[in-house]
Structure 1
Amino acid sequence: MTEEATTWVLADPRAGTAAQPLGIAERLGVPFRTVPLGWGPLARVPWPWPSLAGLDSAARARLRAPWPRLVLSAGRRSAPVARWLGRQGARLVHCMRPGAGAAGFDLLVLGRHDLSPARSAQDQPPEAANAFPILGACHRMTPARLAAAGAEWAVLADLPRPRVALLVGGPVRAENMAPGIAAALGAEVAGFAGSVLATASRRTGAAATEALAGALAGRPHRLHRWGDGGPNPYAGFLAWADAVVVTGDSVSMLSEALATAVPVFIADPGGLGPRHMRLHGSLIAAGQARMLAAAPAPFPRQPLDEAGRVAAEIRARGWV
């Protein structure tokens, strides 16, 4: 927001990663500076010490005094950069496992699904004193944003109820969901929905998106294709949904769906690893979600605001 802000957000180029510290910063209620990060050829090196070596020259130029009092970051690549700023006197709050140097952060915001034994010497579990477990991941889908989206997309109220938001991802670290999976999912949701508010993502792929469109054809629906021009109705879909179905491959979309007050159902597209299965289990155990097989039976749940909870902890510690 301003150059003088004493809170900095290190924004990874990946939107889902950047959204985590940005979501916390927006809930703090104080001015903050967003520092876009760009990566050079050494970014993938698991630096065991504080370092700016992974940054490109433009990103390094953005790091200049006066130094921040608080740094919010996320992801392994930004962890050594945050630790370098810690040497300049900043408090450090980091989302996701940082790899090496976990004990060097003042607060580690970790999804309960990531609280597992270390997988290697460079991936040590965090010290208990600095771990702050949450459900899912932090994000920017605040109550205020949902309210604004509801007003902006009031036209969706004309669709038949129950309106079911269908958030479709794709293979983890890849692209292009199998068209048959997308079609089957669309047909299943359309079978119990009055109308479907469907959105594809970058990982869904064109073929799967068209298969989804075919499954919804002839039924009341609205489909947002990845890369469509014009305003994105994603937040509007969440604001007007009576229930939300999310493919279980997307931590971000699942977490954003939990910002609503409606039932959230997890669709398993197959091929998911232990981390995603632990995520599903943690949400179900907390009463925040159920598997798609339980739909459309409603169940009570409260909106989840983990970014707000982290922000409250930061304020309580006097770091802003």
Structure 2
Amino acid sequence: MRPEPPNGSAGVPEIFGGGIYGAIRRAVVIGNGFPGAENQCLGLVRALGLSGRHSLYRVLRPRGGINEWLHWLPVSVHKKLDHFIRQIFGGSGLKVEGKKGMPLLGKKNGLLHVLEADAKQIAKVARETFDQYGPLLVIASGRDTISIASSIKRFAPENVFVVQIQHPRSRLDRFDLVIAPRHDYYSLNPQARQQIPWLVRRWITPCEPPGKNVVLTVGALHQADFAALRSAASAWHEELASLPKPLLVVNIGGPSSNCRYGVDLAKQLATMLQNVLWSCGSVRISFSRRTPKKVSKLLMEEFNTHPKVYIWDGEGPNPHLGHLAWADAFVITADSVSMLSEACSIGKPVYVIGADRCTWKFADFQKSLAERGVVRPFTDIRKLELLTPKRHCRGCKSGTFSTRRTRVENSYMIDNVKLSLGQTLLGIFSISRQFLMHLFIYLLTPSFSGSHVEHL
């Protein structure tokens, strides 16, 4: 159970009497087409109870050919350059992703279906339908969405409330609320400052501590809440319930500039899995789209014929949520903040491999998980430990899990809520500071805790 909301004879503040729909009844998600970013937005939508009242729009970039080398450019500049190249070369050798619409929400909530995120059009809809439907909540995540989200705020400041997930690396006052992981502010630490050449220190963002409109999280927001896990447990019951226990799930991501690895780490992982296989009933291995072929090939050759091991080949329904629901323990590569955040919030043992290869803020993220006692390194392990981590386990010995069992809850690992609003939020539609404080604390309760799905 979540902490009791303050005030009110029935345990619910008066302002919650009408529920979330009494405040905000519709939302727009601005996505960039990448699951890691969009899942964070959809996770917040779920936490606010707006799953059936939102629309998803996307910021689309030109794709194919030379465009694959131009993703570092701002979206607007990229599109203009792509148009210029097409004018000169006639589009030879270039491919552009089709503008496919998302048939989600129709006209019933005043949110017209558009093919691509258009700041002016979304702001226009928010203004014209404000009297009938109230304020529009805009949630965006990812670098490509920053200009769109801030433009919507500029075009309709009295009719929208804009939330930007992940630090935008620009002025925060362009948004009503910014939700960022703590490690995004790693550059402010004295240790981090020493790692930055003094000539470029002024250019490393963020340069200032989090402001009043910033909410800090330990990890990434996600959709793996109580309801999602319960649904996944039911959907995957036939395939996963009968597997010999304990079930170990191995999630393998892909190397990044701040977490480099290759076949060497795959060999280390294979050796460690061989060491613990005797203590596992079943093992299921999943690769991501970022996993190098040489890594997946090595592991498939090593375990493809092992009777205890199943390797998902990417065909058919993605078992990820089913794995979260039914697994007894996880092994996850250190590069994936999203997968680690999901697994740690469920409350099952999580082993990390490759954390020593992470640098900069990602090393700080790994350190924060270890300090909370929710992960341990997957090295020199001879037997799986199936003890449940304890949230904020201060004093835990390095490399050990806490033994206290807690509960599954909808958690987004909020570390600190710093929210300051004026007397009015959306013109004549006024929302007090107390309401938003209660809303984000109550719905985004921090924890790295949980229990096995069979206890739900």
Pick the TM interval, shorter chain: 0.7 to 0.9
Provide closer, same or farther for how the CA distance between residues 194 and 267 of structure 1 changes in structure 2, counting only shifts above 3 A: same
1:267 corresponds in structure 2 to: 353
Q: CA contact under 8 A between 1:168 and 1:204: conserved in structure 2?
A: yes
User: Unaligned regions of 5+ residues in structure 2, if any?
Assistant: 1-23, 81-98, 100-114, 127-134, 189-200, 390-405, 420-432, 441-456
Q: Deviations over 1:170-228 (max 9, x none)?
A: 11169996234224313413432332111011111232212112332324021113xx2
1:206 corresponds in structure 2 to: 293
Shift of 1:103: 2.9
Question: In 1, distance between residues paired with 2:376 and 2:203?
Answer: 35
SS in 2 for 1:117: helix
Q: Deviations over 1:264-299 (max 9, x none)?
A: 111116642222211111112223222223752344
SS in 2 for 1:222: strand
Match of 2:42 among 22, 27, 30: 22
Provide closer, same or farther for how the CA distance between residues 241 and 230 of structure 1 changes in structure 2, counting only shifts above 3 A: same
SS in 2 for 1:71: strand
1:297 corresponds in structure 2 to: 385
Q: CA contact under 8 A between 1:163 and 1:194: conserved in structure 2?
A: yes
Provide closer, same or farther for how the CA distance between residues 169 and 254 of structure 1 changes in structure 2, counting only shifts above 3 A: same
Task: Report whether the alignment pairs 1:94 with 2:94.
Answer: no
Match of 1:221 among 309, 320, 326: 309
1:85 corresponds in structure 2 to: 152
1:185 corresponds in structure 2 to: 269
1:149 corresponds in structure 2 to: 232
Q: CA contact under 8 A between 2:287 and 2:296: conserved in structure 1?
A: yes
Letter in 2 for 1:69: L
Q: CA contact under 8 A between 2:177 and 2:214: conserved in structure 1?
A: yes
Please identify, of 199-208 and 266-275, the stretch whose mean Cα deviation from structure 2 is larger: 266-275
Letter in 2 for 1:157: A
Question: In 1, distance between residues paired with 2:209 and 2:173?
Answer: 6
1:71 corresponds in structure 2 to: 138
Q: CA contact under 8 A between 2:259 and 2:357: conserved in structure 1?
A: no
Provide closer, same or farther for how the CA distance between residues 153 and 160 of structure 1 changes in structure 2, counting only shifts above 3 A: same
Letter in 1 for 2:310: R
TM-score w.r.t. the length of structure 2 is 0.60
Provide closer, same or farther for how the CA distance between residues 12 and 306 of structure 1 changes in structure 2, counting only shifts above 3 A: farther
Provide closer, same or farther for how the CA distance between residues 268 and 122 of structure 1 changes in structure 2, counting only shifts above 3 A: closer
Q: CA contact under 8 A between 2:260 and 2:357: conserved in structure 1?
A: no
Q: CA contact under 8 A between 1:248 and 1:268: conserved in structure 2?
A: yes
Shift of 1:304: 6.7
Letter in 1 for 2:215: F
1:129 corresponds in structure 2 to: 212
Question: In 2, distance between residues paired with 1:126 and 1:273?
Answer: 21
Q: How does 1:158-177 map to 2 (within 5 A)?
A: 158-172=242-256
Q: CA contact under 8 A between 1:283 and 1:289: conserved in structure 2?
A: yes
SS in 1 for 2:183: helix
Question: In 1, distance between residues paired with 2:202 and 2:345?
Answer: 34
Which one has the largest radius of gyration?
2
Shift of 1:136: 0.9
2:110 corresponds in structure 1 to: none
Question: In 1, distance between residues paired with 2:181 and 2:321?
Answer: 23
Shift of 1:231: 1.2
SS in 1 for 2:116: helix
Shift of 1:53: 6.9
Question: In 1, distance between residues paired with 2:377 and 2:412?
Answer: 24
Task: Report whether the alignment pairs 1:37 with 2:123.
Answer: no
Q: CA contact under 8 A between 1:113 and 1:276: conserved in structure 2?
A: yes
User: Unaligned regions of 5+ residues in structure 1, if any?
Assistant: none
Q: Deviations over 1:36-57 (max 9, x none)?
A: 221368974569xxxx777799
Q: CA contact under 8 A between 1:19 and 1:140: conserved in structure 2?
A: yes
Provide closer, same or farther for how the CA distance between residues 185 and 20 of structure 1 changes in structure 2, counting only shifts above 3 A: same
Instruction: Report percent identity of matched pairs.
Output: 26
Provide closer, same or farther for how the CA distance between residues 180 and 121 of structure 1 changes in structure 2, counting only shifts above 3 A: closer
Question: In 1, distance between residues paired with 2:268 and 2:378?
Answer: 12
Question: In 1, distance between residues paired with 2:161 and 2:363?
Answer: 33
CA RMSD, Structure 1 to Structure 2 (Å): 3.4
SS in 2 for 1:136: coil
SS in 2 for 1:317: helix
Provide closer, same or farther for how the CA distance between residues 152 and 187 of structure 1 changes in structure 2, counting only shifts above 3 A: farther
Question: In 2, distance between residues paired with 1:175 and 1:112?
Answer: 18
Match of 1:111 among 163, 181, 206: 181
Letter in 2 for 1:148: S
Q: CA contact under 8 A between 2:218 and 2:414: conserved in structure 1?
A: no
SS in 2 for 1:77: helix
Task: Report whether the alignment pairs 1:231 with 2:317.
Answer: yes
Q: CA contact under 8 A between 2:71 and 2:78: conserved in structure 1?
A: yes
